[in-house]
Amino acid sequence: MQKRKLGKLAVSEIGLGRMSISANYGPPADRNQGIQVIRTAYEKGVTFFDTAEVYGPHTSEELVGEALAPLRDQVVIATKFGFDIEAGGVPNSQPEHIKKVVEASLKRLRTDHIDLYYQHRVDPKVPIEDVAGAVKDLIQQGKVLHFGLSEASAQTIRRAHAVQPITAIQSEYSLMERDPEQNGVLKTCEELGIGFVPWGPVGMGYLTKEIDAHMKFDPKTDLRSEFDRFSSENLAANMPVVDLLRRFAEKKNATPAQIALAWLLAQKPWIVPIPGTGNLDHLNENLGAVQVQMTSEDLREIETAFSKITVQGGRMNEMQMQVVDQTV
């Protein structure tokens, strides 16, 4: 496991996303198993762990805090603010709200500082300059070390960066979800020296060999049950993407998930994917992606094959896309 830089922040080249540990993609993992996965990831070289107050809510941060307390000085913890959980999860990035919820996150994470603090979703009611200013204050107080934005547009990134330099942008990005290439976000990150953290790097599980057209998602525990891309019709229609990964996986003696992650790692040296899992076998599989070498010829071949495929279905449901910043 090599290191990469998000801005000036050094992290492992693959991180560990902790949303799925507290449900969202099926029932929550057993607490002890969750802690074991986090500590095993660390033993295998992972130093970058991503959570948020809204995961659970709160339970993911508590679990990450407990698992990493003995290792605190050796790891980078990222968490997120931006929703008012007490008010039913509506966006709230008012500066006074940020300064209140950071205290609760610090307590749950059992730490005196958050390495990377993201705005989880851009709040249209609060100027991004005010948000950046609030995080700047927290950085001056030593409670936060670095500032990030999640699902922000290129224009918003520039405005925030002018107030408080941004270390990382987090958005969904994978072989089948290419928005950041097309909406100027990756280009802006490169220009401003900002790192990029793809969430959903294996297509929310689709780019593994685990999901097929017959799979059913429990609406009580799995967000994907409401996502257009995960309808049975679109699961079937998008199989050519998985077939493409399978072909490459055979060629490289790897798995489709490893090819999907290796493809992301090969895009830019400042991209750090954060696949999430509560399963030790999947963890080992994901981390094995760093052994897969992708040549420029491989990348061209994948791109040529992918250009002939049309991905069917939107990436999230309408309600969730409404809180994605798509300012032009």
Q: Hey, what domains does the chain have and what are their CATH numbers?
A: 3-206+265-290 (3.20.20.100)
Instruction: Record the tokens describing residue 244, joined without a space.
Output: 């493409």
In which band, very low, low, confident or very high, does the pLDDT at 22 lie, cut at 50, 70 and 90? very low
Say if residue 328 is exposed, middle or buried (CB neighbours under 10 Å; 0-12, 13-18, 19+).
Answer: exposed
Give the model's pLDDT for residue 23.
45
Whether 119 and 152 have beta carbons less than 8 Å apart is answered as: yes
Look up the pTM and report it: 0.93
Among the options 25, 42, 55, 118, which is catalytic? 55
Catalytic annotation present for 55 = yes
Whether pLDDT at 310 is above 90: yes
Whether 161 and 194 have beta carbons less than 8 Å apart is answered as: yes
Residue 320's CB is within 10 A of a number of other CB atoms, namely 15
Over residues 99-105, mean pLDDT: 98
Residue 225's CB is within 10 A of a number of other CB atoms, namely 14
Give the model's pLDDT for residue 326.
78
Dihedral sign computed on CA atoms, order 260, 261, 265, 271: positive
Nearest to 91 by CA among 102, 99, 83, 79: 83
